[in-house]
Structure 1
Amino acid sequence: MAKIGVEQSLTNVQQALRQKGYDVVQLKQESDANDCDCCVVTGLDSNVMGIQDTSTKGSVIDANGMSADEVCQEVESRIR
């Protein structure tokens, strides 16, 4: 199953993805995203000070304004 990195504050999303069988890791540091197939972030602290130096080979989902179910659907569509 895919490895999904999820921002720490999104506990409801972490639980929903685990229930669907995904390997979920918390994104505590930039390096945590390196091995993930997909990353879910709130978008609230993205690109602070105009610096974007984090890179990941997986796609990034901005969960701002989305329910946990909507995030799960987005993850599923992106990792297919």
Structure 2
Amino acid sequence: MAKIGVEGSLTNVQQALQEKGYEVVQLRQENDAKNCDCCVVTGLDSNVMGIADTSTQGSVIEANGLSADQVCQEVENRLGKQ
């Protein structure tokens, strides 16, 4: 099953993804996202300067304004699962 990185404050998203069988890791440091297939972030720390160093090749989903179910659906869409 896919490995999904989730920001620590998104506990409801973490639980929903675990219930669907995904391996969930908390994103605490930059390197935590390195081997993730997809990452879910709050979007509260937006890149104001326009400079971005990526530490993952996977998709990044901004959870701001989405329910846990909507985030799960977006993860499945990005990973190509319906």
Instruction: Give TM-score, length-normalised by structure 2.
Output: 0.91
**Distance apart, 1:47 and its partner CA:** 1.9
Q: 1:64 maps to what in 2?
A: 64
**Distance apart, 1:46 and its partner CA:** 2.8
In structure 1, the gaps of 5 or more residues are none
State whether structure 2 residue 47 is matched by structure 1 residue 47: yes
Matched residue SS, 1:57: coil
Structure 2 residue identity aligned to 1:66: L
- Mapped partners of 2:48, 2:29: distance in 1: 14
Runs of 4+ in 1 over 4 A off after TM superposition: none
Instruction: Give TM-score, length-normalised by structure 1.
Output: 0.93
Instruction: Identify the structure with the greater helix proportion.
Output: 1
- Mapped partners of 2:19, 2:54: distance in 1: 28
Q: CA RMSD in A?
A: 1.2
Q: Where in structure 2 are the equivalents of 1:12-51 lying within 5 Å?
A: 12-47=12-47, 49-51=49-51
In structure 2, the gaps of 5 or more residues are none
